[in-house]
Amino acid sequence: MKSESEVVAWVLENRRETETIEVKRSIELINAPGGPDKIEESLVAIANSALGQNGWLIFGIDNDSFELVGMLDLKMKNVVSRETRTIRRQQFSQIASRTKPSVSFQWNELTYQDKELVVVRIDGRRPGEFFQTSKGSPWYRINDHTYFADKIQIRRWLEEPELEEQSTSPVSTALTIYVILCLVAIPWGALWVLDPSQVVRNGVPITLGLGFLIALVAHLKQWKTENMAEWCREKFPILLLATASIVPGAVMLQLSLRLYPALSGLYFETHLRDAPLVSLYALLGIIAGGVVLNLPRMSLTQARQNIASWIPDHTKLLKRAALAYFLVALATTSIIPFDNFLVLGTPRIGLVESRYVSDGVIHISETGYGELEAYAVNQQIVHVLLPLVPLVSRVWYPFASNSTRECKVMRMSGMSASLDKDQAGRLEGLWLFVDKTTVSTIAFVAVSYYSELNVSSVATINFHKAKLLQSFDNGSQQIQQTFEISNISPYALHIGPIYLFQSTSQFEVAKNVTSGSADISYAQEGHWLYLNSDLERHGGMVVTVTYNRPAGL
């Protein structure tokens, strides 16, 4: 018989007690005159008779008629209130603790056929051991009678051989799996949340360390698997409440993380964002573990009963848990408006310098025949405040460049950086890596990048209609072309090379350049005349080129 319900069913069916099962009609016997001594005697007798197994003491079944009576007082009139039952349970604990050695038991309240019962599961003695009452009486049971153990009986108990290795019970198997999973999951989960790169490096040593610690504690406390299972069962509600308090905190932390870029100017790669999910998994794991640990010895009705009886008995604990929820949620929520905690562990942007057209020159060049483009070199210097305890070492800083031209990190201090480009090759962000060895609290990185500009916004370019001056017999033509370029930008302009016309090497140039220079050159390859020019701010040029266009062009 493994469960309380099975024991009750067996007693009601067979209408008798056994060496390991005793029934009492009322829980009030615990408080009756002489009651505590009788209960102590029964406890010792059952524990001594239940060698290597559980014994049972049932309150709520008449010990003469073996009828279910439920939670009634000694006169069988009034129902014993829940508060009184709690007091009786405490008295029962005191009685059990005064036996030598203390008898271990589990107090279970259950409803059976609409009657409420208390079924106490008593841990039986082990071979070579026996229990005595506080007055030194070693009671034991034979069938449904209780006897005082004489010296011969005691010697017999002391000389008993060790029990053969028991087959592993489902509870201990479940516990082992549960403990192993917890042992592995806790440090790995925590590392994954804090710094995923540390998981493999530190996960195994931490797990082994925790395992060693648990083994040491188990050894020092002389825990056996069953004791550990019992401890886990007892602490299950507390563990559940504690883990549940992490969930709202983790949710609020996630909200904070979503707002943090607005405060810090940075996005950071962290699995802290997964904290709500991880805490939820942990909660579900603990619930599952609790169910697995308790299932083999508890029916659903019984579980309901236990929960119903546990809550009123632990109002103080529940109030504390509610207070803990509130504090955790408050602490994590305060990150949003006060930006209080993350700055201790994460970098943040302090100052950004944007130097547009850092070399003071806008460039105009040719991308194809007749197609011009303008671009400028910019520089951005990002100053980063480093945290006190760098929990996050990799952050992303958003960048917006509309150019696919090559950009580069020019210089940096206290951190390293890599460029993050989109598929087209445009710079869209910087990955910044905090140098954990740096002693300064401020780091910076300077990046040089390009911006594509609208040509018409920096220069006016006007080509006049070409004049045909002469046509020669060989088919070539002499043409005159005038064009004007003015710098309308607030910076200097560098123009060129811009390929103008195909010509022979004979050509003439008349130019009027203000605030700058302009050169028309001839390229042997392809027979092109091309322009190179530098114009200061407000500079301009009017250029007239007379050239010979070869035949066939």
Partner 1 sequence: MGVSRTVLAVVAILLVLATSIAYQHEQIPTLVEVAVKLRLWRGTVYGSGSLEDITLRLARDTRATFDNVTLVPTDEYNYTSNVHWRLLIVANESASGNVEWEHEVLPSVGKVGVYAGVVSTLLDLKGTYTVWVVLYSIHDSSILNVSSFSERIHTY
Sheet containing 267-268, strands listed edge to edge, beginning at the edge strand earlier in sequence: 267-268, 394-398, 427-434, 415-421
Q: How far is the CB of 353 from partner 1 (least distance, A)?
A: 5
Phi (first) and psi of residue 401, to 5 degrees: -125, 140
Q: Which is nearer to partner 1, 52 or 390 (CB)?
A: 390
Let me know: does 24 contact 63? Beta carbons within 8 Å: yes
Q: Which is nearer to partner 1, 3 or 264 (CB)?
A: 264
Q: How far is the CB of 156 from partner 1 (least distance, A)?
A: 49
DSSP 20: S
Q: Which is nearer to partner 1, 228 or 446 (CB)?
A: 446
Q: Which is nearer to partner 1, 88 or 348 (CB)?
A: 348
Site of interaction with partner 1 (CB under 8 A): 263-265, 327, 331, 340-341, 343-344, 348-356, 381, 383, 385, 388, 441-442, 444
Q: Which is nearer to partner 1, 87 or 349 (CB)?
A: 349
d(CA 263, CA 75): 72
Let me know: does 56 contact 22? Beta carbons within 8 Å: yes
Q: Which is nearer to partner 1, 180 or 352 (CB)?
A: 352
Q: Which is nearer to partner 1, 183 or 349 (CB)?
A: 349
Query: Between vectors from CA 399 to CA 393 and to CA 401, what angle results, nearest 5°?
Result: 150
Q: Which is nearer to partner 1, 142 or 327 (CB)?
A: 327
Q: How far is the CB of 356 from partner 1 (least distance, A)?
A: 7
Q: How far is the CB of 197 from partner 1 (least distance, A)?
A: 26
Let me know: does 294 contact 3? Beta carbons within 8 Å: no
If residue 497 lies in a helix (H) or strand (E), which one and from where to where?
A: strand 492-502
Q: How far is the CB of 344 from partner 1 (least distance, A)?
A: 5
Q: How far is the CB of 347 from partner 1 (least distance, A)?
A: 11
d(CA 184, CA 191): 11
Q: How far is the CB of 230 from partner 1 (least distance, A)?
A: 25
Let me know: does 136 contact 76? Beta carbons within 8 Å: no
Q: How far is the CB of 489 from partner 1 (least distance, A)?
A: 15
Q: How far is the CB of 325 from partner 1 (least distance, A)?
A: 13
Question: Which of these, 453, 447, 544, 545, lies nearest to 493 by C-alpha position?
Answer: 453
Q: Which is nearer to partner 1, 127 or 398 (CB)?
A: 398
Cα–Cα distances in Å, from 436 out to 341, 387, 416? Answer: 19, 10, 11
Report residue 314 as tokens: 């632990």
Paired with 419 in beta bridges are: 430
Helices vs strands, H then E, count in the chain: 13, 21
Paired with 448 in beta bridges are: 379, 408
Cα–Cα distances in Å, from 247 out to 186, 196, 213, 352, 542? Answer: 15, 21, 27, 37, 74
DSSP 229: H
d(CA 471, CA 457): 39
